[in-house]
Amino acid sequence: MDHVDQVLVALRRVIRATDLHSKHLAKTTGLTAPQILLLQSIRDKGEVTIGELAHDISLSQATVTTILDRLEKRNLVYRERSKTDKRKVHAYLTDEANKTLQTAPAPLQDQFARQFNDLQDWEKTMIISSLQRVAQMMDAQHIDASPVLDVGLLDRSAATPDSPGVYADKP
């Protein structure tokens, strides 16, 4: 196998691992990785505004609001206006969300982050540089992306079976 094929196989494995983990999350919790990360962020921060959540998980405030809307419909979160500053709205977990988080598998990026943080600084820099170069070679450097390892839509509850790539199970 030549070098190009080796790179393409490695990229495909990363994509496939992300896809399989996303499907596992959906199957075990009915939630996407961004939804779980959002719930975890609310749990960890306590009283938190939507803007703080967006910053914490590196998503736009509009995306976080959309995800919160879906989670609220599923009785996993609720929002309340701040008692001290009426301009702010805080998100809170329901008991059902806390139960879901106790049994939810860890997001894929948690495992990655632990192993990445154990690397030497030079190795981290080399990986970052290489991946940035690969993104540039694939003309993907301008694609907006968050550090959430998930495929497809950020909130699958908005998806339909006709949405490209969302329900596909191709190796």
H/E run at residue 92: strand 89-93
Question: Is 165 contained in some domain?
Answer: no
Question: Is 169 contained in some domain?
Answer: no
Question: Is 76 contained in some domain?
Answer: yes
Q: Which residues pair with 78 in a beta bridge?
A: 92
3-state DSSP percent of the chain in helix, strand and coil, to 5: 60, 5, 35
First to last CA, the chain: 19
**What CATH number is associated with residue 35?**
1.10.10.10
Quick: pLDDT tens for 7-53. 999 999 999 998 898 899 889 999 988 899 899 999 999 888 999 99
pLDDT at 120: 98
- Number of domains making up the chain: 1
Quick: pLDDT tens for 43-93. 999 888 999 999 988 888 999 999 999 999 999 999 999 888 888 999 999
Question: Is 117 contained in some domain?
Answer: yes
Q: Which of 29-38, 63-72, 94-103, 120-129 has the lowest mean pLDDT?
A: 29-38
Packing angle of the helix pair 61-73, 50-57 (nearest 10 deg): 110
Q: Band of the pLDDT at 146, cuts 50, 70, 90?
A: low
Question: Is 171 contained in some domain?
Answer: no
pLDDT at 150: 56
Q: Rounded to 5 degrees, what are φ and ψ at 104?
A: -70, 140
Question: Is 168 contained in some domain?
Answer: no
* Distance (Å, whole) CA 171 – CA 159: 21
* Domain around 99: 3-158
Question: Is 154 contained in some domain?
Answer: yes
